[in-house]
């Protein structure tokens, strides 16, 4: 039988090494290191990714110098003491058949800290997004940082890694030297493109000298900064040509955006698939035979195969796709692409790591917890497990319990599985949330779970199944509070989000107590259908929990649509068809005239009567998971469903 994805499966030469296939796990901060550096959690995570079949793994961005003040949690390689840990990491990754390359980085003036750290940069210009005027590096400091890159590369070699990747993309220090947006030096490191290229060239040349020709040296290149006064695709083509002509790098890995255009760096579900592929292909066309890695919102093996077949790149780089399913490559190459758990592009992973927390994934409950959870253990004696509720929490619980060998029945009151995700996936731009159902439902079927639809589970009906264990995943019901006043404006929940825009009248008030994707979905839907939307929230800023990249997209879109924002305020009462809002701190009132409806997003009551009733009927083992435990997020639903599936 021919290979299902022949281009993807083809080995490729990268400098002195050969990768077993064309999939590269892009650099991904995990924050899984411990006080000793690489620890068991990090080893287990990298093992899972390598075991999943990717040909090459790039480590997370590793600090090269103590002056990298914006990323205190980041791992580093500039001290000899870090070598033994990375040696173990290389052994683990090599043991699974993949190459391991260390990404070397310095964040320069970009940071996510709430308090401005001491920052180093080519010029004393603040990054407009992260703020904080950096210290302008002296020639001696430049030399010291270059030496930090070189020392780190030498340590990577000593640790047995296959190579290093110099991070020149995404507006970090190397990119800052390259870009006139951040580099206004008048010495040999500033001014002409030739001068701005000096910093990366010095780093690459000196790594080559000290680490040798038989060590892979790659370069991550930002192809477009999407910033007035920043690097453009035309500049980047010249840079790529220059690096290729130098002959000092073994591959180019392409990315785009800087902190000032962060939403381009990891576009969310408001963007189409592979939005920057054609930009990347323009760079590929400039560099002859130098292997080029493309990236960004490549979701499926079919997309990846098509890219490689068309010659737009030589390697496909995946980050979020492998966070959602580290077995992406193995499933693709085994001819089972439909079994891949696709990313839902919510950027939860990224919002955790930029705050210094360990990586996790909304749809993959094991991501970042590989060491703690271990492999799924088959059960010696199968038990009868009843799962009540066929939303994401119940389906994940059923999948895991069935995969371990239990006899599982799911009871769902409606005619279809999916719970509230069915509502979310109907909302324009949020369709990809449904990827989790397109994974879970077929898996549950494949594993032989019995699904009873249109079956409202009562305690008696469940007890009649004589279960050994029950998992209650019945979710929560959106509610809206009683609002003082004359009742002249209807106050409703946002459960029927897709109908929001069809409400009569022109003005809608959204009271946002969710601050996340649900609120965004409601506001976008109403504004997109021509309503004048007022967003009122007691929080300091609207949509405060959305990952920054998604928040940028949402806020831009809502501003374009004329949505009015009232942070630090709440809906106080309704009178004569108007809504009166009040400043949460000062008490100042504001009247919004002629409002068609107030939609309250956030409050929910848990659907949790069953556990007590079941216990009263003698069912000894009852687990309550997801929104039924406390109304929260999809990530909590799937994590708790997963744990319950392991616990029964
Ligand atoms: C528009 C919208 C957008 C959202 N977007 C996001 C997002 O982007 N990211 C995110 O993290 N979260 C999002 N959420 C929230 C997320 O969907 C929920 O947190 C998640 O679905 C909770 O999962 P669950 O399985 O616990 O509950 P539910 O999804 O509510 O599923 C519960 C299931 O139990 C069934 N059930 C209840 N009682 C019984 C019974 N007695 N017998 C049989 N069946 C029963 C219900 O019919 C339902 O199918 C969104 C929600 C909405 C509405
Ligand atoms: C959690 C997370 C961590 C990341 N860490 C890095 C990093 O350390 N270095 C880097 O160059 N890019 C990093 N990125 C960006 C990715 O490498 C990649 O360019 C981006 O996610 C787009 O690819 P994707 O659509 O396949 O996710 C990170 C992205 C995510 C989601």
- Written as one string, the DSSP assignment of 146-171 is HHHHHHHHHHHHHTT-SEEEEEE-TT
Per-residue confidence (pLDDT) for residue 72, from 0 to 100: 65
Q: What mean pLDDT is predicted for residues 439-452?
A: 98
Least confident residue range of 74-78, 222-226, 479-483: 74-78
Backbone angles phi, psi at 18, to 5 degrees: -125, 125
What does the angle CA 171 – CA 175 – CA 181 come to, to the nearest 5 degrees? 75
Mean pLDDT for the stretch of residues 126-153: 97
Q: What is the pLDDT of residue 39?
A: 93
Q: What is the pLDDT of residue 70?
A: 74
Can you tell me which residue has the tokens 């980041």? 74
**How much distance in Å is there from the Cα of 416 to the middle of ligand 2?**
35
Give the mean model confidence (pLDDT) for residues 296-301.
Answer: 98
Ligand nearest to the CA of 434: 1
Count other C-beta atoms under 10 Å from residue 568's C-beta.
15
pLDDT at 498: 73
Instruction: Say whether pLDDT at 326 is over 80.
Output: yes
Atom of ligand 1 nearest to the CA of 458: 41
Q: Which fold has domain 480-602?
A: FAD/NAD(P)-binding domain (3.50.50)
What's the mean pLDDT in 95-112?
Answer: 97
Which of 28, 219, 259, 359 is the pocket-test mutation for ligand 2 (most atoms within 8 Å of CB)? 28
Q: Is the CB of 63 under 6 A from ligand 2?
A: no
Cα distance between residue 208 and residue 150, in whole Å: 9
pLDDT band, residue 31 (cuts 50/70/90) = very high
Average pLDDT over every residue of 615-644: 96
Q: Answer whether residue 102 shows pLDDT above 90.
A: yes
Domain positions in the chain are 6-373, 384-477+612-647, 480-602
Ligand 1 atom 48: residue of nearest CA: 419
Shared fold status for 6-373 and 480-602: no
Q: Is the pLDDT of residue 133 over 80?
A: yes
The answer to whether residue 500 scores a pLDDT higher than 80 is: no
Query: What pLDDT sits at residue 578?
Result: 98
pLDDT at 562 over 80: yes
pLDDT band at 348 (very low <50, low <70, confident <90, very high): very high
Distance 427 CA to ligand 1 centre (A): 15
* Mean pLDDT, range 42-70, rounded to an integer: 96
CA dihedral 472, 473, 474, 475 (to 10 degrees): 140
Q: Which ligand is nearest to the CA of 222?
A: 2
Q: How far is the CA of 317 from the centre of ligand 2 (A)?
A: 10
Asked whether residue 370 carries a pLDDT value surpassing 70, the answer given is yes
Burial class of residue 114 (count of CB atoms within 10 Å of its CB; 0-12, 13-18, 19+): exposed
Name the pLDDT band for 147 (thresholds 50, 70, 90): very high
- Check if 626 has its Cβ closer than 6 Å to any atom of ligand 1: yes
| List of residues 6+ apart from 120 with CB closer than 8 A | 67, 68, 69, 106, 108, 109, 134, 135, 137, 141, 145, 173
In 3D, which of 516, 526, 511, 441 has the Cα closest to residue 479?
511
Distance 48 CA to ligand 2 centre (A): 18
Check pLDDT > 80 for residue 7: yes
User: Measured from the CB, is residue 224 less than 6 Å from ligand 1?
Assistant: no
Model confidence at 497, pLDDT cuts 50, 70, 90, reads confident
Asked whether 71 lines ligand 2 (CB < 6 A), one says no
> What is the pLDDT, as a whole number, of residue 594?
96
Q: For 384-477+612-647, which CATH superfamily applies?
A: NAD(P)-binding Rossmann-like Domain (3.40.50.720)
**Distance of CA 276 to CAs 57, 254, 320, 428, Å?**
22, 10, 16, 21
Residue count of the chain: 648
257, 266, 274, 325: which to mutate for ligand 2, most atoms within 8 A of CB?
Answer: 266
Question: Residue whose CA is closest, atom 38 of ligand 1?
Answer: 474
pLDDT bin (cut points 50, 70, 90) of residue 255 is very high
- pLDDT of 124: 98
Identify the CATH class of 6-373: alpha beta
Q: Looking at residue 1, what is its pLDDT? A: 65
Distance between Cα 518 and ligand 1 center (Å): 11
Residue the block writes with tokens 């979310």: 424
Residue 607 in this model has a pLDDT that exceeds 90: no
Tell me the C-alpha distance between 501 and 596, whole Å.
11
Tokens of 439: 């994974």
Residue closest by Cα to atom 4 of ligand 2: 28
CA of 328, nearest ligand number? 2
Q: What is the pLDDT confidence band of residue 487, given thresholds at 50, 70 and 90?
A: very high
Cα–chain center distance at 564:
29
Dist. CA 208 → ligand 2 center (Å) = 26
Contacts of 375 (CB under 8 A, 6+ apart): none
Which residue has 């790039």 as its token pair? 58
Asked whether 584 lines ligand 1 (CB < 6 A), one says no
Q: Residue 100: which of 42, 55, 48, 45 has the closest Cα?
A: 55
In whole angstroms, how large is the CA radius of gyration of the chain? Answer: 26
The bound ligand whose nearest atom lies closest to the alpha carbon of 221 is: 2
Q: CB-based contacts of 587: which residues, under 8 Å, 6+ apart?
A: none
Q: What is the mean pLDDT of residues 554-567?
A: 94
Q: Is 269 in the pocket of ligand 1 (CB under 6 A)?
A: no
Mean pLDDT of 29-52: 95
What are the residues whose beta carbons fall under 8 Å from the beta carbon of 35, sequence distance 6 or more?
Answer: none
Report whether pLDDT(539) > 80.
Answer: yes
What average pLDDT does this structure show over 57-86?
90
Q: Which residue has the higher pLDDT, 54 or 550?
A: 54
């Amino acid at each position: 039988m021919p290979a299902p994805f022949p281009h993807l499966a083809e080995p490729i030469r990268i400098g002195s090494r050969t990768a077993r296939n064309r999939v590269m796990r892009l650099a991904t901060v995990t924050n899984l290191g411990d006080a000793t550096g690489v620890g068991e959690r990090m080893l287990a995570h990298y093992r899972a990714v390598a075991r999943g079949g990717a040909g090459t793994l790039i480590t997370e961005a590793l600090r090269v110098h103590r002056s990298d003040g914006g990323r205190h949690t980041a791992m580093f390689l500039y001290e000899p003491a870090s070598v033994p840990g990375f040696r173990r990491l290389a052994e683990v990754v090599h043991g699974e058949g993949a190459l391991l390359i260390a990404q070397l980085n310095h964040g320069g003036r970009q940071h996510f800290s709430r308090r401005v750290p001491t920052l180093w940069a080519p010029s004393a210009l603040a990054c407009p997004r992260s703020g904080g005027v950096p210290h302008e590096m002296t020639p001696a400091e430049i030399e010291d940082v270059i030496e930090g890159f070189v020392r780190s590369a030498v340590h990577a070699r000593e640790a047995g890694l296959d190579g290093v990747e110099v991070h020149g993309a995404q507006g970090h220090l190397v990119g800052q030297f390259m870009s006139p947006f951040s580099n206004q030096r008048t010495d040999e490191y500033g001014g002409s493109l030739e001068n701005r290229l000096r910093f990366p060239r010095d780093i690459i040349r000196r790594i080559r000298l000290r680490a040798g020709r038989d060590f892979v040296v790659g370069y991550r290149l930002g192809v477009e900064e999407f910033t007035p006064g920043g690097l453009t695709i035309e500049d980047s083509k010249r840079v790529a040509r220059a690096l290729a002509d130098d002959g000092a790098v073994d591959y180019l890995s392409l990315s785009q955006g800087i902190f000032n255009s962060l939403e381009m760096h990891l576009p969310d579900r408001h963007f189409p698939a592979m939005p920057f592929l054609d930009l990347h292909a323009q760079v590929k066309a400039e560099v002859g035979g130098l292997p080029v890695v493309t990236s960004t919102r490549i979701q499926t093996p079919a997309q990846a195969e098509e890219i490689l077949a068309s010659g737009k790149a030589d390697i496909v780089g995946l980050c979020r796709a492998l966070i959602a399913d580290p077995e992406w490559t193995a499933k693709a190459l085994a001819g089972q692409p439909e079994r891949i758990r696709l990313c839902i592009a919510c950027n939860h992973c990224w919002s955790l790591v930029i705050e210094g927390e360990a990586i996790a994934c909304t749809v993959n409950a094991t991501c970042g917890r590989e060491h703690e959870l271990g492999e799924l253990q088959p059960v010696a004696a199968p038990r009868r497990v009843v799962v009540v509720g066929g939303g994401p929490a119940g389906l994940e619980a059923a999948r895991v319990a069935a995969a371990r060998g239990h006899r599982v029945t799911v009871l769902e009151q409606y005619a279809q599985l999916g719970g509230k995700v069915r509502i979310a996936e109907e909302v324009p731009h949020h369709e990809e949330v449904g990827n989790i159902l397109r994974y879970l439902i077929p898996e549950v079927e494949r594993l032989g779970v019995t699904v009873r639809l249109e079956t409202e589970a009562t305690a008696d009906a469940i007890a009649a199944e004589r279960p050994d264990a029950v998992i209650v995943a019945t979710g929560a019901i959106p509610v809206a509070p009683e609002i003082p006043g004359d009742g002249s404006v209807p106050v409703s929940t946002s459960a029927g989000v897709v109908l929001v825009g069809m409400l009569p009248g022109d003005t809608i008030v959204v009271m946002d107590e969710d601050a996340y994707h649900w609120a965004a979905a409601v506001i976008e839907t109403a504004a997109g259908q021509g309503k004048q939307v007022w967003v009122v929230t007691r929080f300091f800023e609207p949509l405060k929990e959305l990952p920054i990249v998604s928040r940028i997209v949402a806020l831009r879109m809502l501003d374009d649509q004329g949505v009015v924002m009232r942070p630090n305020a709440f809906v106080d009462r309704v009178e004569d068809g108007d809504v009166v809002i009040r400043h949460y701190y000062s008490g100042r009132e504001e009247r919004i005239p002629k409002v068609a409806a107030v939609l309250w997003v956030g409050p929910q009551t848990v659907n949790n009567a069953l556990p007590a009733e079941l216990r009263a009927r003698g069912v000894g083992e009852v687990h309550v998971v997801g929104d039924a435990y406390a109304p929260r997020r999809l990530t909590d639903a799937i994590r708790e469903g997963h744990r319950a599936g392991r616990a029964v």
